[in-house]
Structure 1
Amino acid sequence: MPVLVLDAGNALFKSRDSGEAPDARSRAELLLAQMDAQGTTAMAVGARDLVLGVDFLRKQTKKSKMKLLSANLADAQGKLLFPASLVTEVGGLKVGVVGLSPATPGPVPMEPQAKGRGAGVTMQGLPLQPAVTAEVKRLREQSKVDVVLLLAAVPWVEVSKLADVVEGVDFVLPSHEGRGTGIAQRQGLTTLLPPGDRGRQLARLELSVDGPGRFVDNSEPLRAKENVRLLDTTLAKARERLQATTEPAAKKNLTEAIASLEVRRASLQKTAGEGATPSPRTHLLSYIQLGEDVRADPVVQKLVERIEPPGSAAH
């Protein structure tokens, strides 16, 4: 099965103020090297990736196959600091991947001031919507991509606003807050995908593209069937209570509740039944929990232990 590996960003440092930690640089270098070695195609540039500055990121990925993306991170003159997007072919599909960084209210230092470098050199996070809209339009009209993925290393509230107005984006993977796992959430004209939290989970999105149209969530019919089963149990208990009740007010309340549950059941049953009708475009989100049951690579384990020795507070 063809696979595309992506990272939504904010992956390199524990927090924005962790750059002075003794192991900060070596941790970030190891993460970037391993992401490249494991075939990651692209990563969005998030706030927690910029702790050691733009120059650090550029140098560490200069010979890397993995591309750092940001459609709105620019220098003082408005020139983008990283590519806005890339186009790659996966399983016969042309996939456009766009990166997005947080917008800033004004210029911010491009390099960490504590290092005494880059004084006066600034960068800016340009407004999100115009940057995404322009890049997605270019990908759709000029590159003729089949699917567009947005790696959004921006706050959730901004992701939500974008989803309501942006067109042409099939899926958004946010990373600014650690939101863990969840279900695919249809919002506006796109679908938001929780990508997991701080490397503890690996999100897996399976796509089937056999024609045009919007993507349909293959998990919706499965969840609907489970909810129908649970609702049937609730309805059975409510009907038993109705038969045993003689008090008029209680009978009225139970009758109304049962009617409402039956309407809900009919809606769920329809959703469950729609799963039997093939859709030209479907998606299915699942997660691989990276715990003790997932074997560690011995070589990578040794590299990690050089930075975080067994028994240390960080290990």
Structure 2
Amino acid sequence: MLVMDAGNALFKSRDSGEAPDAKARAELLLSQMDAQGTVAMAVGTRDLVLGVDFLKSRTKKAKQLKLLSANLVDGQGKLLFAASTVVDAGGMKVGVVGVSPATDKPVSAGPGAKGKPAPTMQGLPTQPAVAAEAKRLREQEKVDVVLVLAAVPYDEALRLAERVEGVDFVVQSHEGRGVGMAQRQALATVIPPGDRGRQLARLELGLEGTGRFKDISETDRAKQSLGIVESNLARAKERLKAAPDAAAKASLEQAVASLEARRTALKKVAEGGATGAGRTHLLSYIQLGNEVPSDPAVQKLVERVEPPGSAAH
């Protein structure tokens, strides 16, 4: 099992850096991510509220957590964070790439030292950066899976999955869209990771065979829809037999033909999933509500930042 975060995790908004609990809250999140085995986090806009140096200093001694961004560079064009990491899960080599939003021009990277100009950073175009890193991971690291932690707007995540060769999954965070369905694009599948710690997305992979990953839930949905279509088709055929005139008969014949075409398409999806060939994925969510007990030690740390009864708690 690998635990990862798609970014935009540390601050409630881009403007919350001045809040009294902002720094302590971000430090607690980073320390707990590392303590709980998170191997990688993409650097998003809402992680940079207190600047690049804050992020680096608070993760300098992390045992597992790595901050990733393949396109975030300093004023000299040098990457500010590692572009990717390679981790093992049950003998499977997973290449994880991080990507941050692109910017039209350099922006502030945080407060500067006294007497020196404030440092800057820039988000380079996302697609070339991800494509180059995915290619390197495939050719040099010989990874089995490439997953992109994309702390970018949803439309950009879709374009990455549509156009970048060598990527299997794009896990997107930026707007706080919440749970959803895996969305297959031309080259990769976009995964919604949940929103603000309210859900934990679980992506289960089956690596038997080769080729693109097939969504197991798509097969299940096809089987359910197939049953409905077959029932509707049977009723349409019965009505066709009893059609009172030529106009009604023509309309029902068209409906029957449409349902038969739909049935054929659904059977192809359902039967394709039944063969068990190829690589598969299954996305589900664990809701982190009151039914999931809190860890007492962690709860005490949380309450130091957000005391019970406070507006933030």
TM-score, structure 1 normalization: 0.93
Q: Which residue of 1 aligns with 2:227?
A: 229
Q: Does 1:182 align with 2:170?
A: no
Write the distance in 1 (CA, Å) between the matches of 2:155 and 2:115: 33
- Residues 97, 249 of structure 1: alpha-carbon distance in 2 compared, 3 angstrom cutoff: same
Structure-2 separation of matches of 1:160 and 1:33? 31
Matched, 1:173 2:171: yes
For 1:170 and 1:97, locate their aligned partners in 2 and report how far apart those are by CA, in whole Å. Answer: 10
Distance (whole Å) between structure 2 residues aligned to residue 290 and residue 117 of structure 1: 47
Partner of 1:52: 50
Q: Is the 8 A contact 2:150 2:172 kept in 1?
A: yes
Shift of 1:120: 3.1
Amino acid at match of 2:232: T
SS of residue paired to 1:275? helix
Inter-CA distance 273–164: structure 2 relative to 1 (3 Å threshold): same
1:164 to partner: Cα distance? 1.7
Deviates more, 1:227-236 or 1:154-163: 227-236
Residues 184-205 of structure 1: per-residue CA shift (max 9 Å, x gap): 2110111111111111111111
Establish whether residue 150 from structure 1 lines up as the match of residue 153 from structure 2: no
Amino acid at match of 2:5: D
Matched residue, 2:284:
286
- 1:162 partnered with 2:156: no
Residue 252 and residue 211 in structure 1: after superposition, are their counterparts in 2 closer, same or farther (change >3 A)?
A: closer
What is the deviation of 1:166?
0.4
Shift of 1:24: 1.0
Rate the CA distance shift 1:47–1:117 in 2: closer, same or farther, 3 A. Answer: farther
From 133, 136, 148, the counterpart of 1:135: 133
Q: Summarize the Cα distance change of 1:252–1:152 in structure 2 as closer, same or farther, 3 Å threshold.
A: same
Q: Aligned in 2, Cα 1:137/1:38: closer, same or farther, shift over 3 Å? A: same
Match of residue 309 from structure 2:
311
Residues 261-298 of structure 1: CA deviation (Å, up to 9, x unaligned): 22101211221112221223111111111111111111
Greater shift, 211-220 or 128-137, is seen at 211-220
* Counterpart position of 1:71: 70
C-alpha separation between the residues in 1 aligned to 2:115 and 2:2? 37
- Does the aligned pair in 2 maintain the 1:44–1:99 contact within 8 Å? yes
The match for 2:14 is: 16
- C-alpha change, 1:92 and 1:118, in structure 2 (3 Å) is farther
Report if aligned partners of 2:111, 2:118 keep a CA contact under 8 Å in 1: no
Contact 1:51 1:112 in 2 (8 A): no
Contact (CA 8 Å) 1:112, 1:118: kept in 2 or not?
no
Shift of 1:241: 4.8
- Please give the alpha-carbon distance, in whole angstroms, between the structure 1 residues aligned to 2:36 and 2:118: 37
Give the RMSD, CA atoms, in angstroms.
1.9
Q: Letter of the aligned partner of 1:146 in structure 2?
A: D
The whole-number CA distance in structure 1 between the counterparts of 2:17 and 2:236 is 59
Q: Do the aligned partners of residues 116 and 177 (structure 1) sit closer, same or farther apart at CA in structure 2, a change above 3 Å counting?
A: farther
Q: Choose the corresponding residue for 1:272, options 264, 270, 273.
A: 270
> Identity of paired residues, percent?
68
- 8 Å CA contact 2:102, 2:124 repeated in 1: yes
- Pick closer, same or farther for the CA change 1:199–1:252 going to 2, 3 Å: same
Q: How many residues align?
A: 312
**Aligned counterparts of 1:27 and 1:118: Cα–Cα separation in 2:** 29
Distance 1:118 1:235, change over 3 A: farther
Alignment partner of 2:280: what SS?
Answer: strand
Query: How far has the Cα of 1:248 moved from its partner?
Result: 4.0
**Cα distance, 1:231 vs structure 2:** 2.2
Q: Assess if the C-alpha contact under 8 Å between 1:152 and 1:159 holds in 2.
A: yes
Do the aligned partners of residues 241 and 104 (structure 1) sit closer, same or farther apart at CA in structure 2, a change above 3 Å counting?
A: same
**1:83, distance to aligned residue in structure 2 (A):** 0.4
**Secondary structure of the residue that 2:41 maps to in structure 1?**
strand
Matched, 1:210 2:208: yes
Distance 2:34 2:7 in 1: 14
Say if 2:160 and 2:170, in contact at 8 Å, map to a contact too.
no
Change (3 A) 1:60 1:306: same
The structural deviation recorded for 1:258 is 2.5
